[in-house]
């Protein structure tokens, strides 16, 4: 069993007593984390862990520039975005500059759920229509609309049965374990296009929402040409396309800053959060001016803390750090090295079915049988627990919870990912 300090048990008991039960925590007996530094976490006993799961802390834990900028701004001014101050314009300009020219108009919010929710409302307002198509097995957030388009059974076992009438779905375009595998994966796009055309004939179709790189399954690239075909069908039907870049965007994929670049498309509306604030609540929706303007038909838009001086300064500083510390490049080089190391483990350990992903967005999928792809769910949970003993924070993902969610801070060092690969090799060799 992991050694958990006595005080940590007491704090855990208090947490569980006061928080709603569904507000879960990692691990049955989690270490009590006190501080972080780059890709490392330290607990109250001074034990240090390698954080290989944190896609929120994009530029690393306790980044001094982010901390300094936030602290300085907190001492100067923090208020709502109806006041006039420079930071909101600077941050919005910076985020728009990372996107294709036509995506020039920014809404600032506080989270990924809010960003997806607002993106859907923008699409509905802009088209004057109501129905939305989403990809199955996805997670888009907890707010009313973002939850409505979320169908991952890992988050809600009744997800598909409980969708509101305005939500329609297309198959999860997973080329590893979906309906169509490997060479057959090109069949997802025409099937989705047919569904969209059929829907367009009988409902008022407002748009389509999906991650641009299939995140819930551990970072599986959509089949080549998938979004191009689907976006064309949505536009032909008069709808708009929403890219959920909350997990996959912002440099994590290494070779591309945004996931949609990997598919060679430009969405109408982009929703982003997580990495944007390096763990503080900052989210954004970016779209074209004429699409944003139609939101007026819904009244006004206001978020008290969305785009506040502190949020804006944090957002701008994170973007500066990603560029100046060349973190996207680090994601590409260190991520490619890690993917090779993990794939090599697959040549020696039967359980390791495949390694998904690009850059520092990788998924290690465990299967009991490489032909039937029976998910190794219990094994994955046990492997994560054993990795914690060895000082690595790692969690399962996917609808079968059989995929390691490999998403460390973008500043992760090559030595750290080697430590992780060595630890995983040891667990797979010795057992768990
Ligand atoms: N979209 C995706 C793809 C996500 O992964 C998440 C968070 N896991 C969200 C939206 C919701 O973001 P948040 O937790 O910031 O509300």
Q: Which residues on neighbouring strands pair with residue 42, listed in sequence order? A: 35, 48
* Among 141, 145, 248, residue to substitute to test ligand 1 (most atoms within 8 Å of Cβ): 141
Question: Average pLDDT, stretch 186-212?
Answer: 98
Report the C-alpha gap between 61 and 43 in whole angstroms. Answer: 14
CA of 274 to the centre of ligand 1 (A): 7
Give the pLDDT band of residue 5 (cuts 50, 70, 90): low
Q: Which residues on neighbouring strands pair with residue 176, listed in sequence order? A: none
Give the pLDDT band of residue 6 (cuts 50, 70, 90): low
- Per-residue pLDDT at 19 exceeds 60: yes
Question: Average pLDDT, stretch 52-81?
Answer: 97
Report the C-alpha gap between 112 and 272 in whole angstroms. Answer: 6
pLDDT of residue 89: 97
- Provide the residue ranges of all domains of the chain, joining segments of one domain with +: 6-59+326-430, 64-324
CA of 190 to the centre of ligand 1 (A): 28
| Residue whose pair of structure tokens reads 């409902």 in the numeric block | 203
**C-beta 285 within 6 A of ligand 1:** no
Structure tokens at 300: 């006004």
Question: Average pLDDT, stretch 135-164?
Answer: 93
Question: Average pLDDT, stretch 391-411?
Answer: 97
CA of 140 to the centre of ligand 1 (A): 5
Residues 6+ apart with CB under 8 A from 335: 254, 357, 358, 359, 360, 361, 362
Question: Under CATH, which number does the domain 6-59+326-430 receive?
Answer: 3.90.1150.10
**Could you say which architecture CATH assigns to the domain 64-324?**
3-Layer(aba) Sandwich (3.40)
pLDDT of residue 402: 97
Q: Nearest C-alpha to atom 13 of ligand 1 is from which residue?
A: 112
- Per-residue pLDDT at 1 exceeds 60: no
**C-beta 113 within 6 A of ligand 1:** yes
**C-beta 247 within 6 A of ligand 1:** yes
pLDDT of residue 298: 80
Report the C-alpha gap between 126 and 240 in whole angstroms. Answer: 9
What burial class does residue 216 get, using C-beta atoms within 10 Å of its C-beta: 0-12 exposed, 13-18 middle, 19+ buried? buried
Report the C-alpha gap between 422 and 382 in whole angstroms. Answer: 17
**C-beta 211 within 6 A of ligand 1:** yes
* Among 53, 136, 140, residue to substitute to test ligand 1 (most atoms within 8 Å of Cβ): 140
**C-beta 366 within 6 A of ligand 1:** no
Give me the phi and psi of 277, to 5 degrees please.
Answer: -110, 5
- SS3 sequence, the chain? CCCCCHHHHHHHHHHHHHCCCCCCCCCCCCCCEEEEEECEEEECCCCEEEECCCCCCCCCECCHHHHHHHHHHHHHCCCCCCCCCHHHHHHHHHHHHCCCCCCCEEEEECCHHHHHHHHHHHHHHHHCCCEEEEECCCCCCCCHHHHHCCCCCCCCCCCHHHCCCCEEEECCCCCCCCCCCHHHHHHHHHHHHHHHHHHHCCCCEEEEEEECCECCCCCECCCCCHHHHHHHHHHHCCCEEEEECCCCCCCCCCCCCCHHHHHCCCCCEEEECHHHHCCCCCEEEEECHHHHHHHHHHCCCCCCCCCCHHHHHHHHHHHHHHHHCCHHHHHHHHHHHHHHHHHHHHHHCCCEEEEEEECCEEEEEEECCCCCCCECHHHHHHHHHHHHHCCEECCEECCCCCEEEECCCCCCCHHHHHHHHHHHHHHHHHCC
For the CA of 116, the closest atom of ligand 1 is 10
pLDDT tens by residue, 248-279: 999 999 999 999 999 999 999 999 999 999 99
Give the pLDDT band of residue 241 (cuts 50, 70, 90): very high
**C-beta 111 within 6 A of ligand 1:** yes
Question: Average pLDDT, stretch 72-80?
Answer: 97
**C-beta 51 within 6 A of ligand 1:** no
pLDDT tens by residue, 97-146: 999 999 999 999 999 999 999 999 999 999 999 999 999 999 999 999 99
Whether 231 and 302 have beta carbons less than 8 Å apart is answered as no
pLDDT of residue 153: 87
Q: Nearest C-alpha to atom 14 of ligand 1 is from which residue?
A: 112
Residues constituting the chain: 432
Structure tokens at 253: 């994929």
Give the pLDDT band of residue 77 (cuts 50, 70, 90): very high
Whether 274 and 59 have beta carbons less than 8 Å apart is answered as no
**C-beta 273 within 6 A of ligand 1:** yes
For the CA of 143, the closest atom of ligand 1 is 16
Report the C-alpha gap between 60 and 331 in whole angstroms. Answer: 12
**C-beta 246 within 6 A of ligand 1:** yes
Give the pLDDT band of residue 157 (cuts 50, 70, 90): confident
pLDDT of residue 125: 96
CA of 369 to the centre of ligand 1 (A): 31
**C-beta 257 within 6 A of ligand 1:** no
The closest alpha carbon to 109, from 120, 99, 125, belongs to 120
For the CA of 215, the closest atom of ligand 1 is 3
For CA atoms 195, 121, 236, 176, the dihedral sign is negative
**C-beta 116 within 6 A of ligand 1:** yes
Question: Average pLDDT, stretch 382-388?
Answer: 98
Question: Average pLDDT, stretch 202-212?
Answer: 98
CB atoms within 10 A of CB 248: 30
Q: Nearest C-alpha to atom 1 of ligand 1 is from which residue?
A: 140
pLDDT of residue 49: 98
Give the pLDDT band of residue 91 (cuts 50, 70, 90): very high
**C-beta 139 within 6 A of ligand 1:** yes
Report the C-alpha gap between 177 and 184 in whole angstroms. Answer: 11
Cα dist. 401→1, 90, 253, 366 in Å? Answer: 22, 40, 22, 9
For CA atoms 297, 299, 300, 305, the dihedral sign is negative
CA of 246 to the centre of ligand 1 (A): 6
pLDDT of residue 300: 86
* Among 53, 112, 253, residue to substitute to test ligand 1 (most atoms within 8 Å of Cβ): 112
**C-beta 215 within 6 A of ligand 1:** yes
Give the pLDDT band of residue 26 (cuts 50, 70, 90): very high
- Per-residue pLDDT at 321 exceeds 80: yes
| Residue whose pair of structure tokens reads 């991650």 in the numeric block | 211
Whether 11 and 32 have beta carbons less than 8 Å apart is answered as yes
């Amino acid at each position: 069993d992991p050694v958990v300090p006595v005080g940590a048990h007491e704090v855990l008991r208090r947490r569980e007593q006061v928080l709603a039960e569904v507000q879960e925590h990692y691990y049955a007996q989690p270490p009590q984390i006190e501080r972080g530094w780059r890709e490392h976490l330290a607990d109250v006993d001074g034990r240090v862990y390698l954080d290989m799961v944190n896609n929120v802390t994009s530029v690393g834990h306790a980044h001094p520039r982010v901390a300094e900028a936030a602290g300085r701004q907190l001492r100067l001014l923090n208020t709502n975005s109806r006041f006039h101050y420079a930071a909101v314009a600077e941050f919005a300009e910076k985020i728009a500059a990372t996107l294709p020219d036509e995506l020039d108009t920014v809404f600032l919010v506080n989270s990924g759920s809010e960003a997806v929710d607002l993106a859907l409302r923008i699409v509905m307002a802009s088209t004057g229509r109501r129905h939305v198509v989403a990809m199955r097995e996805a997670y888009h957030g907890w707010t009313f609309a973002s939850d409505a388009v979320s169908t991952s059974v890992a988050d809600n076992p009744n997800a598909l049965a409980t969708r509101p009438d305005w939500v329609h779905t297309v198959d999860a375009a997973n080329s590893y374990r979906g309906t169509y595998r490997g060479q057959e994966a090109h069949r997802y796009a025409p099937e989705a296009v047919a569904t969209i055309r059929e829907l367009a004939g009988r409902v008022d179709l407002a748009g389509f929402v999906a991650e641009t790189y299939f995140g819930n399954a551990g970072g599986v690239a959509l089949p080549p040409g998938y979004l191009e075909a689907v976006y064309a069908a949505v536009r032909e039907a008069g709808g708009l396309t929403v890219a959920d870049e909350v997990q996959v965007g912002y440099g994590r994929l290494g070779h591309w800053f945004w996931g949609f670049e990997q598919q060679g498309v430009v969405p109408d509306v982009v929703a982003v959060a997580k990495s944007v604030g390096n763990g503080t609540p900052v989210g954004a929706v970016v779209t074209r001016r004429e699409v944003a303007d139609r939101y007026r038909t819904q009244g006004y838009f206001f978020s008290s803390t969305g785009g506040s001086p502190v949020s804006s300064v944090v957002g701008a500083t994170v973007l500066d750090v990603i560029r100046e510390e060349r973190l996207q490049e680090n994601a590409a080089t260190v991520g490619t090295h890690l993917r090779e190391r993990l794939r090599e483990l697959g040549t020696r350990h039967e359980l390791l079915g495949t390694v998904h992903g690009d850059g520092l967005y990788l998924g290690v999928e465990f299967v009991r049988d490489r032909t039937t792809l029976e998910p190794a769910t219990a094994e994955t949970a046990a492997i994560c627990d054993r990795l914690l003993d060895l000082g690595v924070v790692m969690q399962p993902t996917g609808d079968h919870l059989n995929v390691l969610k490999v998403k460390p801070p973008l500043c992760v060092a090559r030595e750290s990912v080697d430590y992780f690969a060595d630890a995983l090799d040891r667990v797979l060799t010795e057992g768990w």
